[in-house]
């Protein structure tokens, strides 16, 4: 394991095994899922049976007990499969919802939800975004009224991945004023709950996206995840892993776009020769390769710091998300340009890649929000340095 190659033999064996699984269980079904605008529940079950959902989770709950780099392996290989929608559904289940249960859940909650979720028997979703509150978590209006031994939940959520498939939702609700939020393990069989699929999306077609409605839903106090009133801080912490996954996904997607461009340049002929002979395209490709390596460096550094510092690595994670989000989309766009008219068609998969990866600059915190986080950190550091210098 080196800084440029953090993967051990165990990681590479996992990669090889998962590639075989993708070839057998995912690739043959991609077009079907894309056209139907949703993936099958069975893919979660098959992922669980092979242990691919729980690579980074404790063995006591059905995981493999591997490190964060194992999650990177799974994430990269899904991106290389060019099935962004399914990937998003799997990420939402494994890396958005389940880490909260693992970190905050009681033993009873873990047995009830985490164990079957890692087996793929139950599907999980994270319910934060609302029609009027996305990156602004403090603007959440879905309310859980405390009734002593239970809560009454009213409100709605928007753009929730796995919204119609989910058996359980890690639901962010308001339990007080200002940043007084809490998390609930919400069972989707609860009376008063409903979900409507959202289909008119630019990309991620095979991902289940939904608007959720909660009308006088009775939720027992035993469904409270962690401490009441601490939800805002739990959400902010959970965002970091979500953003890391986005960085890794974006890097692998950009790399896939480069590989597609290389293949096309060698095969496609114009003016009596392969287009790989034209300097303009060769230099375009060279810049793409350089930028992919820059993306990988940023993403891997962010993962390494997250392993070392946890959520305190938010500065480099925010920086990586900005850089990778913008560069990955630019690289994919350049690859489409190299493909010419065929890139605009569905035949080569580059059009789907472009549609799906446009979400990188929007999901898990927009680029603008990331820049605001970075600017606040940098300005605070400058101010602190000035104070120290003044005292000297």
pTM score > 0.85 for this model? Answer: yes
Residues known to be catalytic: 242
Q: What is the pLDDT of residue 138?
A: 84
> Could you give the CA distance from residue 158 to residue 343 in angstroms, rounded to a whole number?
32
pLDDT, tens digit, 9 for 90 and up, residues 75-99? 999 999 999 999 999 999 999 999 9
Q: Mean pLDDT, consecutive 10-residue segments, the chain of 392 residues?
A: 81 98 97 95 97 96 96 98 97 96 98 98 97 85 96 98 98 93 98 96 97 98 97 91 96 98 97 97 98 98 96 96 98 98 96 97 93 92 43 31
Q: What is the pLDDT of residue 389?
A: 38
Element (H, E) at 145: strand 143-146
Assign a CATH topology to domain 9-123: Butyryl-Coa Dehydrogenase, subunit A; domain 1 (1.10.540)
pLDDT, tens digit, 9 for 90 and up, residues 10-39? 999 999 999 999 999 999 999 999 999 999
Class of domain 125-229: mainly beta
Give the start-to-end residue ranges of the domains of the chain: 9-123, 125-229, 232-391
C-alpha closest to that of 182 among 237, 226, 242, 131: 226
**Homologous superfamily of the 232-391 domain (CATH):** Butyryl-CoA Dehydrogenase, subunit A, domain 3 (1.20.140.10)
CA 95 remoteness from chain centre? 7
Q: Tokens 């979900």 correspond to what residue? A: 195
Q: Tokens 């472009």 correspond to what residue? A: 354
E-assigned strand segments in 250-321: 269-270, 273-274
C-alpha closest to that of 86 among 20, 129, 42: 42
């Amino acid at each position: 394991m080196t800084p440029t190659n953090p993967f051990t033999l165990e990681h590479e064996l996992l990669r090889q095994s998962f590639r075989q699984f993708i070839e057998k269980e995912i690739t043959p079904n991609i077009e079907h899922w894309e056209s139907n605008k949703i993936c099958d529940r069975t893919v979660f079950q098959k992922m669980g049976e092979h242990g691919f959902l729980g690579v980074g989770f404790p063995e006591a709950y059905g995981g493999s007990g591997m490190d964060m780099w194992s999650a990177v392996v799974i994430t990269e290989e899904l991106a290389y499969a060019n099935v962004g929608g399914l990937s998003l559904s799997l990420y939402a289940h494994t890396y958005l919802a389940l880490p909260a249960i693992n970190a905050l859940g009681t033993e009873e909650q873990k047995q009830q939800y985490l164990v079957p979720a890692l087996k793929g028997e139950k599907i999980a979703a994270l319910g934060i975004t609302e029609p009027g509150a996305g990156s602004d978590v403090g603007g959440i209006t879905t309310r859980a009224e405390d009734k002593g031994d239970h809560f009454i939940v009213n409100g709605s959520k928007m753009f929730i991945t796995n919204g119609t498939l989910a058996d359980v939702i890690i639901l962010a609700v308001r339990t007080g004023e200002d940043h007084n939020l809490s998390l609930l393990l919400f069972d989707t069989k609860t009376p008063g709950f409903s979900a409507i699929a959202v289909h008119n999306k630019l990309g991620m077609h095979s991902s289940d996206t939904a608007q959720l409605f909660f009308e006088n839903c009775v939720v027992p106090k035993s469904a409270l995840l962690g401490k009441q009133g601490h939800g805002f801080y739990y959400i902010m912490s959970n965002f970091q892993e979500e953003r890391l996954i986005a960085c890794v996904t974006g890097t692998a997607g950009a790399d896939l776009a480069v590989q597609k461009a290389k293949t096309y340049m060698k095969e496609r002929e114009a003016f009596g020769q392969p287009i790989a002979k034209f300097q303009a395209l060769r230099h375009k490709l060279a810049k793409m390769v350089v930028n992919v390596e820059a993306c990988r460096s940023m993403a891997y550094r962010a993962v390494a710091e997250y392993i070392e510092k946890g959520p305190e690595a938010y500065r480099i994670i925010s920086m990586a998300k900005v850089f990778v989000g913008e560069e990955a989309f630019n690289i994919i766009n350049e690859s489409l340009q190299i493909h010419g008219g065929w890139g605009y068609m569905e035949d080569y998969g580059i059009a789907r890649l472009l549609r799906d990866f446009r979400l990188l600059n929007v999901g898990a915190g927009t680029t603008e929000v990331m820049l605001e986080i970075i600017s606040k950190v940098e300005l605070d550091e400058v101010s602190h340095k000035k104070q120290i210098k003044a005292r000297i």
